[in-house]
A and B are shown apart, each in its own frame.
Chain A
Amino acid sequence: MIAFAIRRLVQAIGVMLVVALISFLMFRFVGDPVNQLVGVDTSPAEREALRQALGLNDPVLVQFGRFIVKAAQLDFGISYQFKQPVASLIASRLPATLELSFVSAVFALAIGIPMGIFTGLYPFSWVSRGFLAISLIGVSLPTFLIGILLIFIVSVNLGWLPSFGRGDTVRIFGNWTTGLLTKSGLQSLILPAITLGLFQMTLIMRLVRGEMLEVLRTDYIKFARARGLSRRAINFGHALKNTLVPVITITGLQVGSIIAFAIITETVFQWPGMGLMFLQAVQSVDIPIMAAYLLLIAFLFVMINFIVDMLYVAVDPRIRLGGARG
């Protein structure tokens, strides 16, 4: 077990280094940061001096090495555009992203699972067909379109909810701000959470439906029926329990992509999270922010996978030996 964990950790560090290197190689194609840092009247000589001072004239590998050595000490440098430490900028934007991701995930589960159960139990009813049609929309429409449609229908035409931003926030401790404690904060959360969670919701719904249909065909359900158990006991006691195991796994794995895909939703709603900051950084070639963000997302995925692996091993020791599914 310990050996397995160590092996996994070494792999994880390798993955992060590769992500950092690839992102560094990509930064060469993003453009020239110096042009965003100075006004038009700044002389070429001064621009060159700034480029030299920022170390942008060094070979990519030298820049990469410098970044890794500093990152290992949790020093991600100073943002070019904001002139503030990247670490504290990310820390101040993290709560917004995590809050949005968490609420989206809760929304996706709370709506997706019941819809999945219903469509699994009554596959031929019109309601189920309606749900499936809705889920098709959720899968096929791009996120930014869903977002802008929601804004125009709910905010502009109906005037029910704010069209952008996070509303009023409350500082809980240190840098951690939350919008969950104010009315405008909660109102601002609804549309982005739906936008971000819609795809996950349809995914969960279809997953639950598929599993449910499969489980209901198994022998032990037939036996349970034969024993004269009530439908309810069968559906929710026997069937649902067995359905939820893969759902929990998938949900865990989706957490990473929710946080990573928050970029689009945050941009559409001007949600002041990390994703929006990353996109702004790309536009203004703010390399320190881009590098730190990509590393953070890599770390997130690596950690989630690591935890899932460990849990699997804890649950089923045969996995370590590469054994078959039990």
Chain B
Amino acid sequence: MNRRHFLRYGTLAGASSLLAVGTRDLWFPHHAWGQSRRSPRLIVILLRGAVDGLNVVVPYRESAYYEARPSVAIPQPGQPQGALPLNNQFGLHPALEALMPLWKAGQLAFVHACGSPDATRSHFDAQDYMETGIPGNKRIKDGWLNRLLANLPAGPITQAVNIGAQTPLILSGSQQVTTLPLGKKAVRRQSIDNIPVQEAFDRLYQGDNALAKAYQRGRQARTALLAEFNTEMMQASKGAPSPVNAASDLNRLAKLMTGKTQTQVASISFGNWDTHVNQGSSQGPLANRLRSLGEGIQQLTQALGSTFNDTTIVVMSEFGRTVGENGNQGTDHGHGNVMWILGGQVNGQQVYGNWPGLAETQLYQGRDLAVTTDFRDAIASILTQHMGLNSTQLAQVFPGHSVQQTLPIF
């Protein structure tokens, strides 16, 4: 195990927060929002299907990594199609090249060997736990982003937005959330945009049950969103179609974050990361998906403009994949993974976490990267340092969880 070059936040935390004082003075904390008209924003990107974190942030010094993955490993930096060096222990998947400027600017960090304390390898349970923030308890019906919302000053109708067809568990709960479908459908005109139709249906949905409230919320949000996207609708045919699938939806998200709708919290999911077969290495199916995601995120940070200063973007997945490849040049369901954290105020250019190593005795159940950072600890650091939550509020977002480690992410 090589821990020498690895940032151990346990001992360095104090030093880092001292260093951070300089930037903190420039930073308007959350409670000053009213006066400064700035507010911290949070975007959570969920990669559903369990992305292979070991090929996202590659532990290129580990011989065990190359032994376990004869065909899917990413070559060392300097070799053809090798990893892009992050530090002298880790490298980035070459398909994520678009993110390197952010890394170099100190606006991108990773937390490796991060994940859930619950060992399930069921996608569906693991995603639920990641979204509720209460691993092991299946009866929870609300998500931690929704509980976060309950601890922020009430904002406009579009304070929290999900991009996608349904509200995911992470944003479900007592706080109302707006949904905006993917792609062009989001802004296409509907019958409900006609005044007489609206008036008639408004009368039908006057009640205060869940359905009526959802209708009322949907009507208000639609009015706000259509106002925001009016110009986009008119310009839609002029702009060349984006080569990147993720980019157009992330661009729309940027517009909601920067425009009049004042969206503060958002989530978006991208699927298809379940690589049991023909995963590829520097090139191939996983590389293609990573490339469009990386370019999409890079465009999102650009489109956010100065708002990126107030924004944190978290990219996470339900669990990692096996260290060893399976019989089909793919990987099966594993455990530890890597969390990505981007933002204007992020203390970047760091790979946080306690690296457990990949030698057989260091693996979890002999097959997976061990989890050394509870994903809730990483998020808790963001919520307190970036979103301005106090410990009481944090306890409401992650009930029953006591933070073990604080990461100096900001």
Q: Do A and B bind each other?
A: no
Residues of A that sit less than 8 Å from B by CB: none
Residues of B that sit less than 8 Å from A by CB: none
